[in-house]
Every structure is written in structure tokens, then in C-alpha cells.
Amino acid sequence: MSVAGAAQAGRGDAAPGQASAAGGVGVLIAGWLVPGLGHVLKGRWGRGIVYFVVVGALAVTGYLQRGYVFSPHYSDAFSLLGFLADAGAGVFYFAAKWIESAGPDISRAAGDYGTRFIAAAGVLNVLCAFDALAIARRERD
């Protein structure tokens, strides 16, 4: 499934006349920072809300299970990949310290699962942000 194909498939839920003048890169950054915001800026309210809910559900589930959140101060390639995946969740990544105030606990299976949930939230949000970018570029062209 390509992002461009996914963007093309989503044309039907755009409300007429709601497309904003937001630029492609701005839409990409907005979609990364707040899950679904890139789609909202392009008038895809339904998609935007769904993406916010699913990315938020994955991230919050991971935090409640006390998954490990990778910091920007990585020490090896694995930590770097973990940080990039986690940071993909945008505002939910920055909210980790408040939601998961007790800190990570990966000595239990729940914490290990939580780590995967958090990473999945970030990767999924990056996919959604690039989908918003594809929509913006298609509208521009």
C-alpha cells in the first residue's frame, strides 16, 4: 500500500471548499506534531480524528503499561531507531513524562509490550503524516 495510493483512496471524505492553503511541508510537520492535524488542515476531518484517536490509544496504552520511552540521548543504533520511532508520535511523545509519571518498567511483560505500543504509535503517525503530505501535493498539482 503506497502512501500516494492511500491518499488517492481518501479523496471521498474531503468536504468541498474546505481545502486550506497550508503548504505541503507545513502539513507534514503539523501531522507529525499533532496526529491527524495534517488531514484536518486539508479538510479531512474524519480521517484526522480517527488518526488522533488511534495514535493516542496506542501511545497511552504503552505508557499505562510502563513501556520504555527512548530519549534523544541515544548511545547506539538501536536506541536511535527507538527514539525515531517513539518521537514519531509527536505531542504524545512529549507528553510521555506526564502520562507515564512512574517511569518505565520493562522487567515485566507489560512494560515490554508497552514499549512496542509506543513505537507502533510513532511509526503509524509518521505514515499518517506522509499521507497528509501526499494529499497536499496532489491538491497543489
1 binds other proteins (CB under 8 A): yes
How far is C-alpha 55 from the geometric centre of its chain's CA atoms? 6
Residues 6+ apart with CB under 8 A from 71: 83
User: For residue 130, what is its C-alpha cell?
Assistant: 506522509
101 binds other proteins (CB under 8 A): no
Identify whether the C-beta of residue 39 lies closer than 8 Å to the C-beta of residue 54: no
124 binds other proteins (CB under 8 A): yes
Minimum distance from CB of 74 to other proteins (Å)? 25
Residues that bind other proteins (CB under 8 A): 1, 5-6, 9-12, 47, 50-51, 54-55, 57-58, 61, 64-66, 108-110, 113, 116-117, 120, 124, 127-128, 131
